Structure 1
Amino acid sequence: MGFPGTWMTESQSMVYRVVPKCACSTIGQIMYFSDHGRFFDGDIHDANDGMHKWAFNASQDPIARNVQSHGSYTFTCVRNPYTRILSSFFDKICGIQRNGKRYRGNLVPTLIYNYGIEVGGEDGKGEFDQIASFRRFLLFARDTIRWRRPMDPDIHWSAMSGHVSTLIANGGRYDRIFWTEKFNDGMQDVLDHLDTAHRVTLSEIPRFNESEGHGPKRAHPVEDYFDDLSMHLVYEIYKQDFELFKYDFENPANKMPIGEIDLDEIHAKLGD
C-alpha cells in the first residue's frame, strides 16, 4: 500500500500527509517555498517537480525510507467534518473544475438523475435550493462510504481518519496534527521544529484556496444545512473524525475544536 497522499520537500526537511479539503494547497505551497524561495506558479497539486509526492515513482523510495525511519518532522492538518463535507459539495459537485469541466465526468449527471440534486445550472452559478440538494448529496456520500455504491468514496469526502491512518499503518508516526481552524498556530509550530533553506513568515503567506470560485457561494450558515437526519448521517460517516480530532458533533454551528488532539490515541486507534 505504501504512503499514498504523502508529500515531502526535496530537502527532506518535512513530511506531510495530504488530507483533501484541509488547507492542502497552502501547505503544499509553504513546503515548496521553504525549499525554493518562491511559490509554485499554479496549483501545487499540478507540480510535477520541486517536491516529492508518492504519486511519482521516483519519489516512492525516498518517501518510504524517510517515513519508516522517521527521518523528518511529519505532520498533517484536519478540519471540522461539517464544513469539510459542505466545502466538498460546493467545490466538487456544484463547481466547474480548473480544466473547465465537471468533476469526474459523469458523476454530477448521475447525482442529478439518481438523487435529484441541483447544482446551479451548466456553469454552477444559478440559484437553486442549496439545502435540499446538499442533504441529498449527503445521502450519496454515505452510500459511497458505507456500501461503496454507486461508486467508491471520493478522497474529498472520505473520512479524514482514513487518510491519516495510511501513514501510521505502514510504519509512520506523526509529530503534529493541527486544525485548519487554527491554521497559523499549528503551521507555526511545525515551522518552529524545522530547519529550512528559506525562512517562511506565515503572516506573509497568501492562502492558496484553489477551490474558491469553482462553485456557488454558500447562501446559508453552516448549521442550516444540517437537520436531525443530516446530523445522523454525518455522525455515521465521520464518527471517528469527531472523536479523534475533537470536533463538536452536537453543534454544527461550532466549527472550532472542543478538546486537544491526543497523538498517542490517534496512533493507537488508527494503527491497527
Structure 2
Amino acid sequence: MGFPGTWMTESESMVYRVVPKCACSTIGQIMYRSDHGRFFDGDIHDAQQGLHKWGLEHSRAPIEANVTARRSLVFTCVRNPYGRILSSFFDKICGIQRNGRRYRGNLVPKLMEEYGVEVGDPETGFEFDQIRSFRRFLLFARDTIRFHKPMDPDIHWSAMSGHVSTLIRGGGRYDMILHTEDFETGMAAVLARAPLRHPVDPGAMPRYNESEGHGPRRAHPVEDFFDDLSMHLVREIYGRDFELFGYDIDDPSRRGPVRGIDLDAVHARLAA
C-alpha cells in the first residue's frame, strides 16, 4: 500500500499526510519554505523538486524509510466536515480551476444532467440557487462514497479518516493532528518541534487557495445549507470524522472542534 498522499521535507524535518481541503496548499508551502527559505513559485501541488512526495518515484524510498522508522515528526490537518464538503462544492464544482476549465472535464455536465446541480457562469457573476444546488451535490457525493456510483469518490470529498488511515495502516504514527480552524496555533506547535533550516511564521505568511477569485462567493452562512436531510447525509458519510476529530455533528454553525483529538483512539480505530 505504501504511503499515498504523504509529503516530507528534503531535510526530513517533518512528514505530512495531505488531507484535501484542509489547508494542504499552505502547509506544503510552509514545508518548502522551511527547507529553502522561500516559497515555491506556483501551486505547491505541481512541485516536482524541493519536497518529497509519495507520487514522485524518487521520493518513495526516503518517505517509506523515514515513516516506518519514525525518525521525524509526523502530522496532518483536519477540518469540520460541514465546512469541508461545502468548500469542495464551491471550489471543485462551481469554481473555474487554474487551467481555466471546469474540474475533471465532464464531471460538472454530468452533475447538471443527472442531479440537477447548477453552478452559475462567470460571465453572469455566478448567479444560481446555491443552497438547492449544494444539497443536490451532497446527494451525488453520498452516492460516490457509499455506492461508488456514478463514479468513485473524489479525494476532495471522501472522508478525512480514510486519508488519515493510510499512513497508520502502512506502519506510521502521527505525532500531531491539527484543526484547520486553529491553524496558526497548531502549525506553530509543529514548527516548534521540527528542526528547521529556515524559520517560518505561520501567522505572517499568505494563505494559498487556488479557488480564490475563480468562483462564486458563498452567499449564506454554513448552517443555511444543511436542512434535516442534508445533515442526515453528512452524518451517514462523515460520522467517523466527527467522532475522531472532535467536531459537533449536531450543529453545522459550530465551526471549531468541541473537544481535542485522542491520538491513541485515532490510531486504534484507523489501524484496521
Do Structure 1 and Structure 2 share a fold, with TM-score over 0.5? yes
Partners of 1:78 and 1:178 within 8 A in 2:
yes
Partners of 1:52 and 1:63 within 8 A in 2:
yes
Partners of 1:95 and 1:124 within 8 A in 2:
no
In structure 2, C-alpha distance between the alignment counterparts of 1:17 and 1:125, rounded to whole Å? 36
Unaligned ranges ≥5, structure 1 = none
Tell me the alpha carbon deviations over residues 167-213 of structure 1, each in whole angstroms, 9 at most, x when there is no partner.
Answer: 00010000000100000111011011011110112232111122212
Q: What's the secondary structure of 2:7's corresponding residue?
A: strand
The equivalent residue for 1:27 is 27
The equivalent residue for 2:115 is 115
Unaligned ranges ≥5, structure 2 = none
Match for 2:227: what amino acid? D
How far has the Cα of 1:121 moved from its partner?
Answer: 2.5
* Number of equivalenced pairs: 272
The equivalent residue for 2:227 is 227
Q: What's the secondary structure of 1:196's corresponding residue?
A: coil
The equivalent residue for 1:160 is 160
173-182 vs 211-220, which moves further: 211-220
Question: Do the aligned partners of residues 124 and 11 (structure 1) sit closer, same or farther apart at CA in structure 2, a change above 3 Å counting?
Answer: farther
24-33 vs 122-131, which moves further: 122-131
The equivalent residue for 1:17 is 17
In structure 2, C-alpha distance between the alignment counterparts of 1:97 and 1:125, rounded to whole Å? 16
In structure 2, C-alpha distance between the alignment counterparts of 1:17 and 1:265, rounded to whole Å? 18
Question: Do the aligned partners of residues 114 and 31 (structure 1) sit closer, same or farther apart at CA in structure 2, a change above 3 Å counting?
Answer: same
The equivalent residue for 1:261 is 261
The equivalent residue for 2:270 is 270
Residues 1:2 and 2:18 aligned together: no
Q: What's the secondary structure of 1:177's corresponding residue?
A: strand
138-147 vs 113-122, which moves further: 113-122
In structure 1, C-alpha distance between the alignment counterparts of 2:246 and 2:23, rounded to whole Å? 18
The equivalent residue for 2:57 is 57
Match for 1:133: what amino acid? S
Match for 1:213: what amino acid? G
Tell me the alpha carbon deviations over residues 46-105 of structure 1, each in whole angstroms, 9 at most, x when there is no partner.
Answer: 111001000000100100110111111000000000000000000000011000111000
In structure 2, C-alpha distance between the alignment counterparts of 1:64 and 1:31, rounded to whole Å? 18
Question: Do the aligned partners of residues 125 and 54 (structure 1) sit closer, same or farther apart at CA in structure 2, a change above 3 Å counting?
Answer: farther
The equivalent residue for 2:146 is 146
Tell me the alpha carbon deviations over residues 229-253 of structure 1, each in whole angstroms, 9 at most, x when there is no partner.
Answer: 0000000000000000000111100
Partners of 1:124 and 1:215 within 8 A in 2:
no
Match for 2:163: what amino acid? H
Aligned ranges 1:81-96 → 2 under 5 Å? 81-96=81-96
The equivalent residue for 1:66 is 66
Partners of 2:96 and 2:211 within 8 A in 1:
no
Aligned ranges 1:238-249 → 2 under 5 Å? 238-249=238-249
Q: What's the secondary structure of 1:87's corresponding residue?
A: helix
Partners of 1:95 and 1:215 within 8 A in 2:
yes
TM-score (norm: length of structure 1): 0.98
Match for 2:183: what amino acid? F
In structure 1, C-alpha distance between the alignment counterparts of 2:248 and 2:141, rounded to whole Å? 20
In structure 1, C-alpha distance between the alignment counterparts of 2:238 and 2:79, rounded to whole Å? 12
How far has the Cα of 1:124 moved from its partner?
Answer: 8.0
In structure 2, C-alpha distance between the alignment counterparts of 1:268 and 1:124, rounded to whole Å? 50
How far has the Cα of 1:122 moved from its partner?
Answer: 6.0
Percent same amino acid among aligned pairs? 71
TM-score (norm: length of structure 2): 0.98
Q: What's the secondary structure of 1:98's corresponding residue?
A: coil
CA RMSD of aligned residues (A): 1.0
The equivalent residue for 1:177 is 177
Match for 1:14: what amino acid? M
Partners of 2:122 and 2:215 within 8 A in 1:
no
